[in-house]
Structure 1
Amino acid sequence: MIKRIISLSILLTIGGILLLSFTTTKKPDFSSYSTSGLDLYYVAPNFNEIEDNNVFVFPELGKSYIGFKEAVAFKESRGAYGVVNQFGYMGKYQFGKSTLDLIGVGNVSRKEFLGNPQLQEKAFYAYLSRNKWVLRRDIKWFAGKTINGVKVTESGILAAAHLGGPNAVKRYLRSGGVNGFADAFGTTIRYYMKRFGGYDTSFVVSNRKAKVVL
């Protein structure tokens, strides 16, 4: 009887030890994972910016001016002339009323503008031409440099100016990328500079007074 009690006590002791070994956990030491003192850099894109790297490249057009404008148009409206978004931006290149006023077509009705592809193409070129003049010094100073991990190019600058206006691009470049801009959909200047960089926009003539000739 005593032997049975001793055997049972031994078994209970061993069982208790095993149970404690599985249920007792040591708190992890996270001190070795600290980022204190590290030089951290990361730009998180919004969901509109997470796209395939080649989605806007038209192989038959390459990096030409036509390739550039069609790539921008695809991003803006999927290339549709008759589109009006929820904020009132119109056409293939999504122009606002104030921009159309600036380039001389503010008196054209929305219906006429949307139904006139030739007018929209002229408007896109005129706005590029004006922005190229406004940003001529910035193109000279910053083209070839890298800001926020993106190589700055003339076409990237012009595309970003189409997104946010030339003054927003100036602030971005001259602040070293600190003073940013995002449109109503969260699309940034950095994204446009990256997405539309490296195209040949030498076709666009710089013109301070660029207007659409009707």
Structure 2
Amino acid sequence: MGKRAIKFSILIAVLTFVSLGFTSKKEANVLKNNIEIHNTSSKVVTVLPKDEIQLNLEAPIPFTGKKYLGFKEAVAFKESQGNYFVVNTLGYLGKYQFGKGTLEMIGIYNPQAFLKNPKLQEKAFEANASRNKWILRRDIKRSVGKKINGVLITESGILAAAHLAGPGSVKKYLRSGGKQGFSDAYGSTVRYYMKRFAGYDVSSIKADKKARV
């Protein structure tokens, strides 16, 4: 009887161990209702409830090329890790974290509808970039190729910084030789965006004073 009991205990232990390697239907449903956030440096996937999204904005940016697609996806990853449906603590919306004032300037007056529409968010990014490029066209011509505060100035860096701080703040930064800086509520600066988003080919973005969605 003692040997049988031992064998039975071992069998139970093996079955328990094997069962742990499978996901139950209940667990699968939990995962389905969550969002996966990938840490590209360690290939770890963290599963978080949708109402408890936490973004690691300093995570390495996935490489998607050095042209317009790569540029906008890099900016999006820094802003929201590419999440179309996130709203930050200051009320900035979507994949590219637009403020309501900027949206109105490019013809969008319904923030909630905007948040639910990925195609509209992509059009908004393009329109805003075109508008910023027109506003900063002279500064781009004068400043590209120079170094300010140790950072090589590029057209893509200027447009990324304009997305962060607005074209007016970028003008002040460039024309003051970097003395008039800008920092948002989370500590991101014009200089940081100039450096992080340097070297993309954004020639496909057309300067347009009246760019609207």
Alignment of 1:71-90 (within 5 A): 71-90=74-93
Report which structure shows greater RCO (CA 8 Å, sep ≥6).
Answer: 1
Cross-structure match for 2:122: 121
CA-based RMSD: 1.3
2:99 aligned partner, one-letter code:
G
1:69 aligned partner, one-letter code:
K
Cross-structure match for 1:143: 144
Cross-structure match for 1:101: 104
Cross-structure match for 2:161: 160
Cross-structure match for 2:43: none
Alignment of 1:34-53 (within 5 A): 51=58
Alignment of 1:17-36 (within 5 A): none
Higher strand share: 2
Cross-structure match for 1:192: 193
> For each residue in 1:86-116, what CA deviation from the matched residue of structure 2 results, as whole angstroms up to 9, or x when unmatched?
100000000001000100002x2x3311110
Cα separation, 2, equivalents of 1:154 and 1:111: 32
Cα separation, 1, equivalents of 2:150 and 2:73: 25
User: Which sections of structure 2, spanning at least 5 residues, go unmatched?
Assistant: 1-56
Q: Could you say which structure has the larger radius of gyration?
A: 1
Q: 1:56 aligned to 55, 58, 61, which one?
A: 61
> For each residue in 1:105-136, what CA deviation from the matched residue of structure 2 results, as whole angstroms up to 9, or x when unmatched?
02x2x331111000000000000000000000
Cross-structure match for 2:135: 134
1:57 shift after superposition: 4.4
Q: 2:70 aligned to 67, 71, 76, which one?
A: 67
2:173 aligned partner, one-letter code:
Y
Cα separation, 2, equivalents of 1:123 and 1:96: 11
Moved over 6 A (4+): none
Cα separation, 2, equivalents of 1:193 and 1:64: 16
Cα separation, 1, equivalents of 2:144 and 2:196: 15
> For each residue in 1:29-87, what CA deviation from the matched residue of structure 2 results, as whole angstroms up to 9, or x when unmatched?
xxxxxxxxxxxxxxxxxxxxx957xx2241xx221110000000000000000000010
Cα separation, 1, equivalents of 2:62 and 2:80: 15
Secondary structure, in 3 states, of the residue corresponding to 1:190? helix
1:205 aligned partner, one-letter code:
K
Cross-structure match for 1:170: 171
Q: How many residues align?
A: 157
User: Which sections of structure 1, spanning at least 5 residues, go unmatched?
Assistant: 1-49
Q: TM-score, normalization: structure 2?
A: 0.72
1:84 aligned partner, one-letter code:
V
Cα separation, 1, equivalents of 2:62 and 2:193: 14
Cα separation, 2, equivalents of 1:89 and 1:178: 27
**C-alpha contact 2:58 2:78 (8 A) present in aligned 1:** no
Cross-structure match for 1:206: 207
Cα separation, 2, equivalents of 1:111 and 1:209: 24
